Amino acid sequence: MALGALVVLIVGVLVVNYFKDKKAETLPALTNQAVSTKEHIVVKGETLWSIAEDAFGSGYNWVDIKSANNLPNDKIEIGQKLTIPEAEIKKPTVTENTISRDSYTVQKGDSLWKIAVKEYGNGYKWTTIAKANNIQNPNLIYSGNVLKLPR
């Protein structure tokens, strides 16, 4: 019992001395280095888009995350640490609908993004085309397919 009391007393003295010494310390001077305000660790099922939605409230900021982390493409891995930069929230631009036809025949080399830019003047409208045509995988469109173009 006496040994237990002695251990508690020694630990107590060490804790008091530790905090007493901390009061005398000063903080290091701030430098002009850019400090990252946020870091994110990728979990299963996340994409750059979903991370940007959580961090910025807009998935369109995925390009800022990609740039801040010098990613060669948009592939990320579970457990990967990503820096979330400070950036202005990106919103899709609203353009006047210049579309003059109801359908589009897919040409070799087309993607939904390219078609949306060509037909709507806004690449982000690719989702509208995909939904209107029940396209499950936007990377799989074929030459000769006729796509409905909603107005």
Domains of the chain: 38-84 (3.10.350.10), 103-148 (3.10.350.10)
Predicted confidence at residue 99, as pLDDT, reads: 52
Enter the pTM of the model. Answer: 0.44
Mean pLDDT (the chain, rounded): 82
In contact, 38 and 83? CB cutoff 8 Å: yes
Predicted confidence at residue 36, as pLDDT, reads: 46
User: What value does the mean pLDDT take over residues 52-78?
Assistant: 90
User: What value does the mean pLDDT take over residues 41-46?
Assistant: 92
pLDDT tens string 81-129:
999 999 888 887 655 545 567 899 999 999 999 999 888 888 888 999 9
